[in-house]
Amino acid sequence: MSSRLTDLDQPVSAQPHIVSPTWRAYLALTKPRIIELLLVTTIPTMFLAAGGFPSWTLVCWTLLGGTLAAGGANVLNCYLDRDIDALMQRTAHRPSATGQISGKNTVIFGILLSILSVITLSLTVNYLSAGLAVVAIVFYVVGYTMLLKRRTSQNIVWGGAAGCMPVLIGWSAVTESLSWTPVILFLIVFFWTPPHYWPLSLRYKEDYAAAGIPMLPVEQAPATVAKQIIYYSWAMVGITLLLIPVANMNWFYIASAVIFGAVFVYEAYALQARVRKETADLKPMKLFHWSISYLSLIFLAIGIDPFIN
């Protein structure tokens, strides 16, 4: 761990020509696509909490604070993982891995975004939301990146909890409290994360193995990975149905949860079938891409449901 925290200005890999950092390079460190997915869960949660339209000013400030928090955590993650990112084809282009942005500037940028997120949420939303943002940042940077990612094949299971925090932040922004409903929403994202991420790590198994990251597909056979994906998929669908009595959901959400959940489980079993047949191309990205659509559709249904009478 100490080797990652020393000599902040030393790039991981020597590059013959280092391009001067641009705003696009700094933006890339925040992992915008991940932030987009997190915000997809925040807005519908706020609609459900408000039972309709919340204050748009509140929504904007919450999204800004959440974006800064997620961006700050992702930037610090890029710094801590710059050595292994440089070894993987999928991440070797990141400015922190190429040395385009120095370690020192990466750390400063990440800390600045994190501080701004807490200040923004404290002054414009409420202290509970700000406190939850702090928990999310610390858990992702310390809990997942520093402690879990390189040590256990269950890293994404527990580390993924940081990605569940936006629903708690969104709910607390509207109600200034927490209840069983946001806990259920938290669990939906929690159980969604492994069947979302494991197909990706199955696709890039060689990358993770080369970097020494003990992702489940690196440590276990594809048959075991497929079985675990099915377990978590069923658990996730069960949790989406549990939201119905807890939050008194209407027919629109019920139909959406059943239909989209059935498709998700079908795709999980389809992946297992390809594994059992020892198909040359397991096509794990098919489930990965559908998982993104699934989460977006489920939370879209959650956001629309309060308007269904």
CATH number of the domain at 247, please: 1.20.120.1780
* Assigned token pair, 186: 């938290």
Nearest to 66, CA basis, from 134, 145, 143, 141? 134
CATH number of the domain to which 87 belongs: 1.10.357.140
* Average pLDDT of span 253-279: 96
Residue range of the domain that includes 38: 21-174
Structure tokens, 197: 């991420």
Kindly indicate the confidence band of residue 5, based on its pLDDT and cuts at 50, 70 and 90: very low
Mean pLDDT, residues 7-14: 43
> Is there a contact between 237 and 191 (Cβ–Cβ < 8 Å)?
no
Distance CA(295)–CA(41), nearest Å, equals 8
Average pLDDT in the 3-29 region? 59
**167 shares its domain with 295:** no
Instruction: Look at residue 142 and tell me whether its pLDDT is greater than 60.
Output: yes
Distance in angstroms (rounded) separating the CA atoms of residues 171 and 174: 6
CB-CB contact of 137 with 73 (8 Å): yes
Domain stop point among 122, 151, 174: 174
Task: Return all residues near 273 (Cβ < 8 A) that are at least 6 apart.
Answer: none
What the block records as the tokens of 300 is 């879209």
Q: Give 31-83 as a DSSP string.
A: -HHHHHHHHHHHHHHHHHHHTS---HHHHHHHHHHHHHHHHHHHHHHHHHTHH
- Domain contains 307: yes
- Do both 259 and 228 map to the same domain? yes
162 inside domain: yes
Domain-located, residue 1:
no
Is the pLDDT at 17 greater than 50, yes or no? no
Q: Is 278 exposed, middle or buried (0-12, 13-18, 19+ CB in 10 A)?
A: exposed
Q: Is 1 exposed, middle or buried (0-12, 13-18, 19+ CB in 10 A)?
A: exposed
Identify the domain boundary among 174, 197, 231. 174
The share of the chain scoring above pLDDT 70, in percent, equals 94
In one-letter notation, the amino acid at residue 254 is I
Same domain, 55 and 141: yes
96 with 8: CB under 8 angstroms?
A: no
Whether residues 142 and 202 share a domain: the answer is no
Among 140, 155, 174, the domain boundary falls at: 174
In a domain, residue 256? The reply is yes
In a domain, 16, yes or no: no
Asked whether residue 53 is assigned to any structural domain, the reply reads yes
DSSP 91: T
Q: Are residues 60 and 125 in the same domain?
A: yes
* C-beta neighbour count of 77 within 10 angstroms: 23
Q: What is the pTM of this model?
A: 0.90
The pLDDT of residue 10 is 43
Token pair 């997620």: residue: 70
* 37 and 164 co-located in one domain: yes
The domain tally of the chain equals: 2
Residues 271 and 207 in one domain: yes
State whether 198 and 219 are in the same domain: yes
**269 lies in the same domain as 306:** yes
**Domain co-membership, 47 together with 142:** yes
- Between 39 and 253, where is the model more confident? 253
Q: What is the rounded CA–CA span in Å between residue 69 and residue 272?
A: 36
Torsion sign across C-alpha atoms 154, 158, 163, 167: positive
- Confidence at 9, pLDDT banded by 50, 70, 90: very low
Single-letter residue type at 10? Q
Angle at which helices 180-203 and 222-247 pack, to 10 degrees? 160
Q: Are residues 128 and 248 in the same domain?
A: no
Question: In this structure, is residue 145 part of a structural domain?
Answer: yes
One domain, residues 206 and 139: no
Instruction: Average the pLDDT over each of 84-88, 107-111, 228-232 and give the range with the smallest value.
Output: 84-88
Check pLDDT > 90 for residue 278: no
Q: Residue 6: inside a domain, yes or no?
A: no
Three-state SS at 125: coil
Rg over CA atoms, the chain: 20
The owner of tokens 């696709």 is 203
